[in-house]
Amino acid sequence: DGGITQSPKYLFRKEGQNVTLSCEQNLNHDAMYWYRQDPGQGLRLIYYSQIVNDFQKGDIAEGYSVSREKKESFPLTVTSAQKNPTAFYLCASRTGKNSPLHFGNGTRLTVT
């Protein structure tokens, strides 16, 4: 089955540590996205990538980094510079700029 896999589902880290969230898709989509969702709120765009080896900052990129070395993979690193990293992180992909997004089931990150 084609889809987007985010792992792990739950992640716990101590403050001051960097952590990398995995996102893999086998949909052959060019574009990939990372969103952050806080309780009871909408999604905020962190980073997006239109094509391999290229990515752009979204609305809340500070304290995050990404890479896009392969079409299938778009990992997100939450660095120690992110002031409030505890949140639900969603990865998505789509074929092009006017097509629907396909989402993974998210990673819930808790930093204490």
Q: Interface residues with other proteins (CB under 8 A)?
A: 4, 6, 31, 33, 35, 41-45, 48, 50, 56, 58-59, 88, 90, 92, 97-106, 108
The structure tokens 């089931």 sit at 105
**Do the Cβ atoms of 89 and 82 come closer than 8 Å?**
no
Cα–Cα distance between 67 and 6 in angstroms, integer? 15
Q: For the CB of residue 45, give the shortest distance to other proteins in the complex, in Å.
A: 6
Q: For the CB of residue 83, give the shortest distance to other proteins in the complex, in Å.
A: 19
75 closest CA partner among 1, 8, 2: 8
Q: For the CB of residue 33, give the shortest distance to other proteins in the complex, in Å.
A: 7
